Chains A and B, each alone.
Chain A
């Protein structure tokens, strides 16, 4: 199979997977006994108001019609209207998604900055105390529950050290005094390109704790992956030769060895992005981060199924795309895999 054909084949598969997820989630959410019409109307609705809402939401039609109706509006980019907030779900998700994206990107960046050097150094100093420390660090990162770590960080940095804010994305008051022009929806990026330094500094402070919380898992993963690949590469003859020639060791580790060790680590990073999306659900609740996770959690709690469906579609699509990209890169780098 040629590379291009393989890409097309995988894309078609991805579409089927996403379509399957939508179908399953749609029918499951409609099977849960609940009355969205009553939820739509509010506190003490009259029977007439509920009946009116039922018509408006197409709930009086057969399930199959509702499904077809949903799919056809989905193809037009319409995810329906939230039962709880009466907002188009697309709008809700758009703003929530950029918040989550910013958090995840920042967390992954932290994970790379910390994980790669730590992995390299552990491999170089194999079985030293540094290696042991990094092992404990990595294993705790992978195994400790996110919410626990988040709360500990809040206690330490907010309550006792008073260095970083407790929750939220940016201070409302700062945002009022220095209005931020939204371009990408990522506050750090937007404030930087518009030169809005107070908002940038404030947003940076807000993102550190949730991003650290979220980064714990990928840090552990990357550290271990880089370390094991580095240990392997360092055994290679060309490394030994490089040492024999008396090349500077930093150059050997970071230029020659890491280059060969990094590819599998990057795959791990890719896959951990998908995992981080799940981790974001809890982190966002603890830090009141107005992202997709918080939106999903409260939508589920209030049986707001258009919102739940919308989030599921976005999450599933992201997951599938990330996996697809990772696979395609892998195949590109190592043609043996596509057999």
Chain B
């Protein structure tokens, strides 16, 4: 019998594990929810105090300095800090500024600030803070500080009024709503800390100096960020709002999917698109889908033969099965592009004359260009590891192959292909597939960055140059703040030129797809603040 002791020990161990498992979950299991859901543990926590909402996010956080941050921590900043103006697809809304006005030509802007706004330190927000914050961002010259380029000087009129003088006309309220580089900080708190670098260190350690509804309670950039409600928030609080909001870093997509379905997290995005229909059947979650301001382009090398020939570029544009790509690559979670601007944004025109799939027309154009049976080779690069881009590349290769064009596909990492494109247009790739999204939602950010003439190539990866186009968009952006109809007209003309010249193929605009656990409601994606969940807007069910 004694010989059996060792086996007995093993069995006892396994039992101990199992029992400890049971004991642990029993504690939090309540009969109020059906036993079939793994969600019971979390749902219980949501119902009890404190109210907690958890957002499962794909990447680690980066820096936390609102003046310089230009990456993933965007999902924290607008919950902790606030801008003067809030962007929504329906128009600009008051945020820290309650109203604003400009002189006739849009070179002078006055913002009236909300009264009684408190920073998390207890200091009151005044015009001094606005001036200090923006001047610091400009002075540091990092991240998205370029958005303030039009600003010549900032003047404090009184505690609640601030005046911007511009070098050239611009839509300053839109700039002030930017998701990067436009947050207002507590200058009384920060200026005591030291110089700009010392302040950056202080902030990057997880301190905050904002006036937003949440403060940073715990900052572990690789695992989780815990935000706690700021009791004295000017917007006030109701009982069903969340006291605690957690951003949990879960890089693995299938894990995020399991976690949101079981209620371990409440909000997830970037899940495998093939699985979304399955999740739509799941009673535990709600799938929210909305147009993003992101668009996929295939930039065509307009300097190197044969793509320096407009007819060839047009032919390629006709030989793309736009609708099939949306169906096959995006599983219909997105739209085929109508020109360079994504749907919902200023400068998007539903009726813009764009290319549609027409292989016959493509053949004709190639013949006119002197390539009746194709017979040339194109090098196409896309970002390695991006499955959607890989599928698009395969489809283009197959379709253009039908025209006798040999496409060599080269998956490369982003910096690598970008470096290749910037080196020498004559040696660069012929087709460059990549995404664009705006720093703040103006069509100028798209049209200027990718198609305005550039002396030194940065993002104009088609090497496109057309003075008439340049002039139109430069004029349009100046009018954006004062005469929106005129600005639209000019943008439209510019986009028509772009469609005719075909320096790029406008592929599609993917939707933002969020999966929300049923215990949370009130979520709406705001394409002006990509990937951001405004926790203040959420309610517990």
Chain A contact residues, CB within 8 Å of chain B:
33-36, 38-39, 41-49, 52, 84-87, 92, 95-96, 113-114, 117-118, 120-121, 124-125, 130, 154, 157-159, 162-169, 172-173, 176, 201-202, 204-205, 208, 248-250, 253, 285-286, 288, 290, 294-295, 298, 301, 303
Contact = CB atoms under 8 A, between A and B. Distances in A.
A42 B68 CA distance: 10
A166 B419 contact: no
B221 A87 contact: yes
B139 to A, nearest CB: 13
Contact of A176 (B3, B62, B244, B249): B244
Interface stretch (B4-12, B150-158, B165-173): B4-12
Nearest to A43: B70
A94 B13 CA distance: 32
A163 B2 contact: no
A118 B11 CA distance: 11
Interface string B12-23: 010001101111
A132 B255 CA distance: 36
Contact of B2 (A47, A166, A201, A250): A250
B62 A84 contact: yes
B142 interface: yes
A159 B255 contact: no
A162 B25 contact: yes
5 contacts: A34-B413, A46-B146, A117-B7, A172-B226, A173-B246
Contacts of B258: 154, 158-159, 166
Contacts of A204: 20, 24
Contacts of A158: 38, 258, 262
B264 A165 contact: yes
Nearest to A96: B222
Contact of A167 (B9, B250, B415): B250
A166 B264 contact: yes
A41 B38 CA distance: 41
A157 B321 CA distance: 46
A121 B224 CA distance: 45
Interface in B237-255: 244, 246, 248-252, 255
A124 B259 CA distance: 45
Interface centre among B63, B69, B221 (most CB of A within 10 A): B221
Interface centre among A87, A166, A201, A288 (most CB of B within 10 A): A288
Closest 10 interchain pairs by CB? A42-B70, A117-B6, A163-B21, A35-B415, A250-B2, A290-B223, A33-B416, A42-B71, A34-B415, A121-B6
A49 B141 contact: yes
B250 A288 contact: yes
Contact of A172 (B24, B144, B248): B248
Nearest to B22: A163
B198 to A, nearest CB: 16
Contacts of B25: 162-163
A38 B60 contact: no
A192 B60 CA distance: 29
Interface in B192-207: 204
A43 B419 contact: no
A117 B10 contact: yes
B391 interface: no
B37 to A, nearest CB: 9
A114 to B, nearest CB: 6
Contacts of A125: 3
B458 interface: yes
A324 B185 CA distance: 53
A321 to B, nearest CB: 25
Interface in B42-81: 45, 50, 52, 54, 59-63, 69-71
Interface of B: 2-3, 5-7, 9-10, 13, 17-18, 20-25, 38, 45, 50, 52, 54, 59-63, 69-71, 141-144, 146, 204, 217-218, 220-224, 226, 244, 246, 248-252, 255, 258-259, 262, 264, 385, 413, 415-416, 418-419, 437, 439, 449, 456, 458-459
A120 B251 CA distance: 42
A205 B62 contact: no
A163 to B, nearest CB: 4
A172 to B, nearest CB: 5
A158 B252 CA distance: 17
A120 B259 contact: no
Contacts of A41: 70, 142-143
Contacts of A120: 6
B419 A208 contact: no
B60 A167 contact: no
Contacts of B2: 248-250
Contacts of B413: 33-34, 303
A85 B62 contact: yes
A205 B222 contact: no
B10 A159 contact: no
Contacts of A85: 60-62, 221-222
A114 B13 contact: yes
A203 to B, nearest CB: 11
Contacts of A172: 52, 54, 224, 226, 246, 248
B21 A176 contact: no
Interface centre among A52, A85, A298 (most CB of B within 10 A): A85
A157 B21 contact: yes
Nearest to A302: B59
B221 A286 contact: no
Nearest to B530: A43
A248 B224 CA distance: 55
Contacts of B3: 121, 124-125, 249-250, 253
A86 B6 contact: no
A205 B20 contact: yes
A87 B71 CA distance: 14
A36 to B, nearest CB: 8
Given A118-B6, A121-B6, A42 B143 contact: yes
Contacts of A249: 2-3
Nearest to B5: A250
A164 B25 CA distance: 8
B123 to A, nearest CB: 27
A52 B38 contact: no
A130 B134 CA distance: 74
B255 A286 contact: yes
A130 B71 contact: no
B62 A86 contact: yes
Contacts of A298: 59-60, 251
Contacts of A301: 385
B419 A35 contact: yes
A249 B5 CA distance: 11
B35 to A, nearest CB: 8
Nearest to A289: B223
B252 A288 contact: yes
Given A34-B416, A47-B458, A164-B21, A295 B222 contact: yes
A167 B261 CA distance: 14
B438 to A, nearest CB: 9
A265 to B, nearest CB: 15
A52 B62 CA distance: 19
B385 A114 contact: no
Contact of A205 (B10, B24, B54, B143): B24
Contacts of B264: 165-167
Given A43-B437, A52-B142, 4 more contacts: A42-B62, A44-B459, A165-B264, A208-B21
